[in-house]
Structure 1
Amino acid sequence: MYKISLITGDGIGPELSESAVSVINAINDKLGLKFDVTKLSAGDKALKESGKALPDETVDTIKKSDACLKAPVGESAADVIVVLRRILDLYANIRPAKSYPHMPALRDDIDMVIVRENTEDLYTGKEFSLGDSAVALRIISENASKRIAKYAFETAKQRNSTKKVTCVHKSNVMRITDGLFARSCTEVSKNYPDILFEQMYVDACAMNLIRQPEQFDVIVTTNLFGDILSDESSQVVGGLGMAPAANIGDNFALFEPVHGAAFDIAGKNIANPSSFLLSIKMMLDWLGAKNNDSKCLEVGQKLESTIFNLVKTGVKTKDIGGTKSTSEFTQAITNML
């Protein structure tokens, strides 16, 4: 029995959470795995009701669980996910970008993963005023850089792909900070002689994600660059609705869709739940690897292939030009499982 904490979020978050629970219940009933899901509050609604975007009891429950699923939250997102990353030392942000049928991808052969350092860079929030100027501190450490580089190479080693790692930085301008990141990745690459290693400036990478996205396998980069490039790569394969993400540390992991709370369509039962359901697939993969549980790995592959086969038939939710509601799309997934 795996204990899963579920932050239900804001906007379309509660609807996606219901979709996730339905799929997990189907896995419980049909596929021989057992999950106990505890719903938790965090985000704008929690802030309004309790005065804290991330209540202490939510954090305590997450720490006692085997993994966490997080639906999108609203304006208080930084006070939720950024804080959880630090508390739980979730240093690797993993964002796959893959072409799915009947989605407006640039090509049908895109299959990449962005491995983003998740704990430092400008996202430490160390800002201050200095006279009439505003100053932000950009912190890049050797330890964090080597740790994320190792994760990227291990990811490439496990993938059925070209086994290539692209280190993305801007060391020609930020010679000290990005220079340290580039050197750290280069040093780690020496431990993986069977994996192709290349370096690319972030502006060139942004261009090549549009020009030749099929050439990328695993991209490793710093926090801010990774945030921007992963949204770009998601759009390259058709939009954020098919984009899952994982925040992974040595002992814990949190899984979430890349997109936001989409308040404009909240409550309409039209949101595409695929990104959250694919996040469940990533959770199953992580639990399987961590616990040597082949059943988790098997079910994760089955869930992804089920989503792939459903959208291959042209089934879509209304928010992306289809005819199905969120609940109808979810029902189709559970029926196929």
Structure 2
Amino acid sequence: MKNYSIALLPGDGIGVDVVREGKKVLDTVSALHGGFTLNYEEYDWSCEYYAKHGKMMPDDGLERLRNFDSIYLGAVGYPGVPDHVSLWGLLLPIRRQFEQYINLRPVKLLKGIQSPLAGKTPEDLDLIVIRENVEGEYSNIGGRMYEGTDMDMAIQNSVFTKKGVERVLRYAFDLSQAKGKKKHVTAATKSNGINHTMPFWDEYVHKINKEYPDVTSSIVHIDALAAFFVSKPETFDVVVASNLFGDILTDLGAAIVGGLGIAPSANINPEKRYPSMFEPVHGSAPDIAGKGIANPIAAIWCTSMMLEQLGEQDSAEAIMTAIEDVLQEKEILTPDLGGKSTTEEVGDYICKKLKNSLN
């Protein structure tokens, strides 16, 4: 029997609420499906931890995480701690140290959810965005000069490397070739205005595409691409983008399939030399933390992505089926989806669906 070790980082705000429900679902499916067990270790690294210790995690935090099979993160961020402190103190070091260079975000309209886009069905809204996750526009290169004077200035440099660009593009083409319905990769660019990094990116799109003669590609300017996400999302299959552009596109993608409450993400080290990390993208939402109204579906969807990455495909699919069953019934839903149920009630009901289907 396989045994997987999972690091739990509930983090801040509603992260604590939704990770609790996600763990409950993981425990349910592992007990019912058999074939694998899960061992957890929980860490309290968060903005509250920062307030006590002046850092988001201990100095040996990354070493503690290194040997886990997966990391399950709730959310980071809380008033009083600047966002760049919480992000650069925990999330980004994990992504970079563990070479989680693929950020995978499905843009999929689940059955039972109505898109704000008129007339769009689950068949129309089913694409995946692959975001380069460790360099690009979020590279930690630059600085400030002359702070507090009339000459105050800031410089932030983007870094695009041959290795970094090739590996994210190759992942996108591999995914489209293996799972894509249209066998087409759309690459986001802005080469008409950003005249060094974006032509570099475009050049490698053409180069990598030659390795995949059965997959077509197109390069679309980010402003037009954002518009097409709204006007003709059904035309997309796999979308690949740099760090900043992917970040923006995926939040837009979440909006067209029902909101951030059901939007998952995976930070993946494809070679599995290091643990991958799974997190809902809704943030910590401190204004509703502890009130029992946060939607746990994004976090639970993350558990399905985690199990898929670990090779437990049947369990991953069972979780998604249970989620869609609950959504289609419309009886147990949180307020953001028009219901009156609590976070815990939704988690419990998804577990009930799993038990009914797997027993």
Please say whether Structure 1 and Structure 2 have the same fold, judged by a TM-score greater than 0.5: yes
Aligned-pair distance for 1:197?
A: 0.9
Aligned-pair distance for 1:242?
A: 1.2
Tell me which residue corresponds to 2:278.
Answer: 255
Aligned partner letter, 2:282 = H
Using the size of structure 2 for normalisation, the TM-score is 0.89
Aligned-pair distance for 1:122?
A: 2.2
For residues 62 and 42 of structure 2, what CA distance do their matches in structure 1 show? 12
Question: Once structures 1 and 2 are overlaid, which stretch shifts more, 111-120 or 318-327?
Answer: 318-327
For residues 49 and 28 of structure 1, what CA distance do their matches in structure 2 show? 36
For residues 220 and 104 of structure 2, what CA distance do their matches in structure 1 show? 19
For residues 179 and 170 of structure 2, what CA distance do their matches in structure 1 show? 14
Q: Aligned in 2, Cα 1:158/1:56: closer, same or farther, shift over 3 Å?
A: farther
Tell me which residue corresponds to 1:325.
Answer: 342
Q: Indicate conservation of the 8 Å contact 1:16/1:276, yes or no.
A: yes
For residues 112 and 227 of structure 2, what CA distance do their matches in structure 1 show? 24
Question: Does residue 1:309 correspond to 2:309, yes or no?
Answer: no
For residues 258 and 158 of structure 1, what CA distance do their matches in structure 2 show? 26
**Highest relative contact order (Cα 8 Å, sep 6+), 1 or 2?**
2
Match of 2:93 among 58, 83, 93: 83
Aligned-pair distance for 1:132?
A: 4.0
Tell me which residue corresponds to 1:293.
Answer: none
Aligned-pair distance for 1:29?
A: 1.9
The answer for unaligned runs of 5 or more in structure 2 is 78-82, 146-150, 355-359
What do the CA deviations read for 1:157-210 (whole angstroms, capped 9, x no partner)?
221511210011111111211011111111011111111211101011011001
SS of residue in 2 equivalent to 1:264: helix
Tell me which residue corresponds to 1:98.
Answer: 108
Q: Indicate conservation of the 8 Å contact 1:5/1:61, yes or no.
A: no
Tell me which residue corresponds to 1:231.
Answer: 251
Aligned partner letter, 2:139 = T
Tell me which residue corresponds to 1:178.
Answer: 198
For residues 66 and 59 of structure 2, what CA distance do their matches in structure 1 show? 11
- Cα RMSD (Å): 1.4
Aligned-pair distance for 1:61?
A: 2.7
Large movers: runs of 4+ above 6 Å: none
Aligned partner letter, 2:314 = E
Tell me which residue corresponds to 2:176.
Answer: 156
Aligned-pair distance for 1:280?
A: 0.8
For residues 112 and 141 of structure 1, what CA distance do their matches in structure 2 show? 26
SS of residue in 2 equivalent to 1:155: helix
Q: Indicate conservation of the 8 Å contact 1:165/1:198, yes or no.
A: yes
Aligned-pair distance for 1:70?
A: 0.6
SS of residue in 2 equivalent to 1:186: helix
Using the size of structure 1 for normalisation, the TM-score is 0.94
For residues 311 and 56 of structure 1, what CA distance do their matches in structure 2 show? 42
Q: Indicate conservation of the 8 Å contact 1:243/1:258, yes or no.
A: yes
Q: Indicate conservation of the 8 Å contact 2:180/2:237, yes or no.
A: no
Aligned-pair distance for 1:143?
A: 1.4
For residues 211 and 166 of structure 1, what CA distance do their matches in structure 2 show? 16
Question: Does residue 1:199 correspond to 2:215, yes or no?
Answer: no
Match of 1:187 among 182, 207, 227: 207
Question: Once structures 1 and 2 are overlaid, which stretch shifts more, 157-166 or 241-250?
Answer: 157-166
Aligned partner letter, 1:167 = A
Give the share of equivalent positions with the same residue, in percent: 32
What do the CA deviations read for 1:186-236 (whole angstroms, capped 9, x no partner)?
101111111121110101101100101111111111100000111011101
Tell me which residue corresponds to 1:124.
Answer: 139
What do the CA deviations read for 1:266-290 (whole angstroms, capped 9, x no partner)?
01111111111111111111110xx
For residues 341 and 349 of structure 2, what CA distance do their matches in structure 1 show? 10
For residues 274 and 77 of structure 1, what CA distance do their matches in structure 2 show? 23
Question: Does residue 1:38 correspond to 2:38, yes or no?
Answer: no
Aligned-pair distance for 1:127?
A: 2.6
Tell me which residue corresponds to 1:7.
Answer: 9
Match of 1:56 among 51, 54, 59: 59
